């Protein structure tokens, strides 16, 4: 089998956009997929199992692609897939269910980005004390990783188990959309969406982004109204239960040390006793969503430049080029 990617050190100076490992994996797997569907009815699913080149430090990787009623992706990496030296991620699996065949590259890119970040996170996390670390950010092969999103993701899942409000569930979905890992994977997805247009005009590419579903996610974060959410949640479950649920929310964040690690949550009240405290709590989240939406928009603009540079043959979009833009 041909060597899938460059050696690991060849990626060290790549840009801060989409990891070039992800780009190579998508191209390789998509080519394999096209070969498979010549032989198999796609409605029955296409399973691709192969060993990736050892330089990527992932192997025995399974991709299952199937048509369906919508477009979605799922990756299933687990801690148990890492060996003791953290050299390889074994037997990982990605399932892609699609309605529109043109979405396959996007979904692969989204899930591969999760997988590659997962590998980098866990390889580094294995060597530090998460609760007592001095820094909340790690720089690994050009990736700036804010580890607090792992804690917030854990708290969100715990709250979903006790939530009884549709409005609050939509709020928790915004929490999910604001996570660094999710935002990065959505940008990775948009990269392939734009790249396949072969358009090099930045204005036209920005118009294309506005037509993509990830633009709607950006708008959802930007336009979040905490007062509307709070009022609807109170209508659904009552003020008393909402106060208690918010109190639990804050306690879980504190237990995971999130309130000290996330600057944008610094104004959260020390205690949750009444509805005024609740409103201040979610006003703080609204501010976080607003800042994350600004970051999201910046990433959209950066990814346009990365697509244009790649299409012009200037890949990788290196760090020096990006710094000039900043």
Q: So what's the pLDDT on residue 58? A: 55
Q: What is the band of 77 on the pLDDT scale with cuts at 50, 70, 90?
A: low
Helix (H, G, I), strand (E, B) or coil at 35: helix
Helix (H, G, I), strand (E, B) or coil at 306: helix
Distance CA 5, CA 301 (A): 27
Phi-psi region of 85 (alpha: psi -120 to 50; beta: other; left: phi over 0): alpha
pLDDT at 201 over 90: yes
Exposure string over 6-22, b if 16+ CB within 10 A, otherwise e: beeeebeebbbbbbbbb
Query: Can you tell me the mean pLDDT for 162-190?
Result: 89
Q: Which of 81, 149, 148 is nearest to 115 (CA)?
A: 81
Reported as a single tens digit per residue, the pLDDT across 121-138 is: 655 544 433 333 344 443
pLDDT at 225 over 70: yes
Helix (H, G, I), strand (E, B) or coil at 94: strand
Q: So what's the pLDDT on residue 221? A: 95
Distance CA 104, CA 141 (A): 27
Q: Where are the beta strands (DSSP E) in the chain?
A: 46-50, 58-59, 61-67, 72-75, 89-90, 93-98, 137-140, 143-146
* 13 vs 259 pLDDT, higher one: 259
The residue assigned the tokens 């399932």 is 95
Question: Following CA atoms 317, 320, 324, 325 in sequence, which dihedral angle do they give, to the nearest 10 degrees?
Answer: 30
Best mean pLDDT range from 24-28, 100-104, 205-209 = 205-209
Q: So what's the pLDDT on residue 209? A: 97
Q: So what's the pLDDT on residue 15? A: 43
pLDDT at 263 over 80: no
In this predicted structure, which of 63-67, 115-119, 124-128, 145-149 has the lowest mean pLDDT? 124-128
Pairing type for strands 93-98 and 58-59 reads unpaired
Distance CA 90, CA 79 (A): 10
* 172 vs 67 pLDDT, higher one: 172
The verdict on whether omega for the bond into residue 110 sits within 30 degrees of 0, i.e. cis, is no
Q: Are 233 and 247 in contact (CB under 8 A)?
A: no
């Amino acid at each position: 089998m041909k060597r899938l990617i460059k050696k690991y050190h060849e990626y060290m100076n790549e840009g801060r956009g989409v990891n070039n490992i992800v780009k190579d994996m998508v191209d390789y797997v998509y080519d394999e997929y096209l070969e498979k569907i010549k032989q198999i009815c796609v409605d029955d699913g296409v399973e691709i199992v192969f060993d990736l080149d050892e330089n990527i430090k992932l192997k025995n990787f399974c991709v299952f692609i199937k048509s369906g009623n919508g477009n979605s992706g799922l990756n299933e990496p687990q801690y148990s897939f890492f060996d003791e030296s953290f050299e390889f991620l074994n037997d990982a699996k990605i399932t892609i269910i699609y309605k529109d065949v043109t979405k396959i590259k996007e979904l692969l890119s989204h899930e591969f980005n999760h997988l590659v970040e997962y590998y980098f996170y866990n390889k580094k996390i294995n060597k530090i004390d998460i609760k007592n670390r001095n820094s909340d950010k790690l720089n690994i092969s050009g990736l700036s990783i804010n580890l607090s999103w792992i804690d917030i993701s854990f708290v969100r899942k715990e709250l979903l188990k006790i939530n009884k409000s549709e409005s609050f569930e939509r709020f928790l979905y915004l929490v999910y959309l604001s996570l660094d890992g999710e935002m990065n994977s959505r940008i990775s997805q948009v990269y392939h969406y734009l790249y396949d247009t072969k358009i090099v005009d930045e204005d036209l590419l920005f118009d294309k982004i506005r037509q993509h579903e990830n633009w709607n996610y950006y708008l959802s974060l930007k336009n979040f109204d905490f007062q509307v959410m709070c009022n609807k949640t109170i209508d659904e479950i009552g003020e008393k239960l909402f106060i208690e649920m918010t109190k639990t929310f804050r306690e879980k964040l504190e237990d995971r040390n999130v309130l000290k690690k996330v600057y944008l949550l610094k104004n959260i009240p020390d205690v949750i006793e009444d509805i005024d405290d609740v409103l201040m709590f979610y006003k703080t989240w609204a501010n976080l969503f607003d800042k994350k939406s600004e970051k999201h928009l910046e990433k959209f603009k950066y990814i346009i430049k990365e697509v244009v540079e790649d299409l012009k043959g200037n890949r990788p979009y290196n760090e020096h080029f990006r710094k000039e833009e900043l």
